[in-house]
Amino acid sequence: MKRYEVSRIRNVALLAHGGAGKTSLAEALLFNAGAISRLGRVEEGNTTTDYDEDEIKRKVTITSALAFCEWRGYKINLVDTPGFANFLADAKICLRVMDSAAVLVSAVSGVKVHTERVWGFADEYNLPRLIFINKLDRERADFYRVLDDVRKNLTGHALPIQLPIGAEASFQGVVDLVGMKAFQHQNDASGRFIEAEIPADLRARADEYRAQLVEAVAEADDRLLEKYLEEGSLSEEEVRAGLRRALHEGGLVPVLCGSAYKNIGIQPLLDLIVEVLPSPLERPEVEGTNPKSATRERRKANEEAPLAAMVFKTVADPYAGKVTLFRVYSGILSSDSTVYNASKGARERIGQVLWLRGKNQSPTGSVGPGDMAAVVKLKETATGDTLCDEKAPILLDPPSFPAPIISFAVEPKAKGDEEKMSSALNRLQEEDPTLQVSRDPQTKEVIISGMGEVHLEVAVERLRRKFGVEVNMKTPRVPYKETIRGTASVQGKYKKQTGGRGQYGDCWIKLEPLPRGGGYEFVNQIVGGIIPKQYIPAVEKGILEAMMGGVLAGYPVIDLKVTLYDGSYHVVDSSELAFKIAGSLAFKKGVLGSNPVLLEPIMNVEVVAPDDCMGDLIGDLNSKRGRVLGVEARGKYQGIKAQVPLAEMLKYASELKSITGDRGEYTMDFSHYEEVPAHLQEKIIAESKKE
C-alpha cells in the first residue's frame, strides 16, 4: 500500500464519556470514506473497532483500537478510545501520540464527568480539537441546551459551525454556517444528502451564529480583522482559513452536529477533519533524550531524519502473538528491517509492517513520518517504548501510566496452574500497562491491581478466554505486623535425650522495643565462651525464623532489639540445630512477656472530587478511622489529603463512585505502620486463629 505525504495525514482521537457514540461515529466515518462496505452496529456486535469478545458482550469500548480511511486523498488515522472510568487510562496513553481530537457529546445527556476528564487529557497534550454533538435523532435531544453545557463545563471557546435541521425523530440534516447552505439527508443511513437553501425557520438563527463565527475567526488574524472592520464580512475561503488558524491556536473550538447511528452529518465532519485539523507537520517537533550524550534533541517529521517511533499500544493475541502498534515521528520504518529499542537497549527484528483497521490487517512495505501502523511478534518491546535508528538513538518521553486504585488477590482454580497463571498475567500486563501484578512476600498472595473492579473482572475473563486459566478473585489480606511495647529477659532451652547423642542448646536473651521503623537489631554480649562462637549465628537464625510468624496472629514481628547475653552448652550434645531451636523458643516466650501488639499499614490517600461532595467524603474518611490532613483547590475540584488504615480502603473504589456519582478519583500509597486499636486487634487475632 502507498505511503502518504506527511501533510496529507490526520491523526484523530475519538474521545467521550461512555455511551456517547464514539464507536458508532468511527463506523460511520469509515463507511462514508468507503473503507468498509456496510455500517456495523454496536448492539449487533459487528463494528470495526469494538471487535474484542468482552466489548461485544458488554457493548462498551474496553481498549483503544486503530482504524484508517482515505478521504479526498488524505489518510485519516482514527483511534476509538474507551469512555468508561475503568478504562480511561488507555485513552490517555494513546493521546500521547495523537495530533488532534474529536470530542463527542451526547445531545441527550450532555457533558458528563468523564467528558470533562478526557477533555483534561487533551489539554495536557495541548491537542487542537473539535466537538461533535451526537445523537440528535434521539428523544429529548437538544442541541442548544448541550451547547450551553459545553461552554459552561468544557470551554468558553466552543462555537457552532453547524446547526441541526429538525430534532429528535424529525432530525434530517445540518446547516453549514461556513458556506451558508443546508445539507438535507435521506432517512436511510446511506449518508447521501442534497445541498439546499437554509430552511426559512432557521435563517435568522443561522445569520446570528454565522456573524459570531466570522467575528471569532477575524479576531484570530490581524489581516482578516482589518478586512472585517472595513467591509463587515469575510468570504467563505477567508472564514475557512481563519477557522483553521483559530483552531490551531486554541482560540476557537468548532462545534458540529449529527447522528452517527443515522449517518447524518458525517461527510461534513470528514471534510472538516482534512481541512482544519493539523497534519503532523503542524504540530511541535517531537523531543527526546539522546541516551549516549544525555542531551535533549528534536526530530523533524520528514523521511530523511533518523527513525524515531513510539509504541502506544500492545495487543496480546493468543494466535498471532504480540501485536505492537506504533506511531512514526521521523524517518521510515520498513518491513524486514532491524530497529533499536532505546527504552530496553535491545535490537528488534521487524517482520511485515501492517496497517490496522480494527483487527483487520493490510500489509505495507514501510511507514513514513506522522503515520501509524503495527508489527507482530516483537520480543522486548512494550507500550511506551521508543524504536529508533541505532546509529542515531533517541529516547522519547513515554506516556505516564496512572497508579492503580483497587487490588484483588488471585489464585488458580486448578491446582498446579500457578505457573500457567503467572505467565498469562505477564502477557496481560504487556497488553495493559495499567494492570499491575505483584506477589505479597508476607501473605504469599498474587495481587492484581487495576483501575476499578470492572477492569479486573475483564482481566480475569481474558485470562480464561485467551489463555485457558481460570482463577478465583478475592479481597487481599492486609499485611499486618506485630511488635512489642515492653521489655523482657527470657531463657530458651532445648534439651533432648533419646539414647545416644542428645541435643542441647541454652540461651538468655533480652527483648526491647525500637522506635517505629527501627527494624531489627541483634546484639551479641556473650563473653568468656559460655556459648561457643560457632553457635551464635544459629541462635540469631532461630530468632529471625520465629520473627517471620509472630505469636499473636502469625504476622511478622518488627521494630525490636534482641540482646544475647548468657547461656550454656554441652560439649557432646550441643549443635547448631539445638541453639537455633533454643533461640526460637526464647524469642516466642520473650515476645509474649513484653506486651505484644498488632500493627496495621497506614496509607497516604488523596481524593479529588467536586466541591459539593466534600462534606460526605470527609465524613466517610473520618468513619474509616482516617485523619484528614487538609483540603486544597484543584481547578474545578477539591483535593483531600488524609491518612487512612489500609484495612478500611480495600473497597474504597466502589464507595467513592457511589458518594461522588462517579465524579471522584483517588490515589493511595504506603505511609507507615501504627498500632491496631484493642477492640479490632482481638477480632483479627480470633480470625487468624480460626484460619
Fold classification of 601-690 (topology level) = Alpha-Beta Plaits (3.30.70)
pLDDT in tens, 120-135: 999 999 999 999 999 9
Tell me the pLDDT tens digit for each residue of 501-552.
789 999 999 999 999 989 999 999 999 899 999 999 999 999 999 999 889 9
Stretches where the chain sits below pLDDT 50 are: none
pLDDT score, position 1: 62
Q: At what angle do helices 113-124 and 88-95 cross, to 10 degrees?
A: 20
Domain ranges of the chain: 6-282, 286-396, 406-474, 481-594, 601-690
pLDDT, tens digit (0-9, with 9 covering 90-100), for 206-265 = 999 999 998 898 888 778 888 878 777 888 898 999 999 999 998 899 999 999 999 999
Q: Do domains 406-474 and 601-690 have the same CATH topology?
A: yes
Cα 87 to chain centroid distance, Å, stands at 7
**DSSP 8-state class, residue 478:** P
Cα dihedral 105/111/113/115 (nearest 10): 30
Q: Which CATH number fits domain 6-282: 3.40.50.300, 3.40.1160.10, 3.40.50.10260, 3.30.420.40?
A: 3.40.50.300
Q: What is the CATH number of domain 286-396?
A: 2.40.30.10
Q: State the Cα angle at 403 between 398 and 409, rounded to 5°.
A: 130
Q: What is the DSSP string of 502-535?
A: -EEEEEEEEEEE--TT--EEEEE---TTSS-GGG
* Phi, psi for 240 (deg, rounded to 5): -60, -45
Helices vs strands, H then E, count in the chain: 16, 37
- pTM surpassing 0.75? yes
What ranges in 2-142 are assigned the alpha helix state H?
22-32, 53-58, 88-95, 113-124
120 contact partners, CB below 8 Å, separation of at least 6 = none
The per-residue pLDDT for 477 is 84
Domain 406-474 is found in CATH 3.30.70.870: yes
Can you name the CATH fold of 481-594? Ribosomal Protein S5; domain 2 (3.30.230)
Residue 87 contacts residue 121 (beta carbons within 8 Å): no
Distance CA 601, CA 44 (A): 48
Q: What is the pLDDT of residue 687?
A: 87
Beta-carbon count within 10 A of 211 CB: 13
pLDDT for position 635: 66
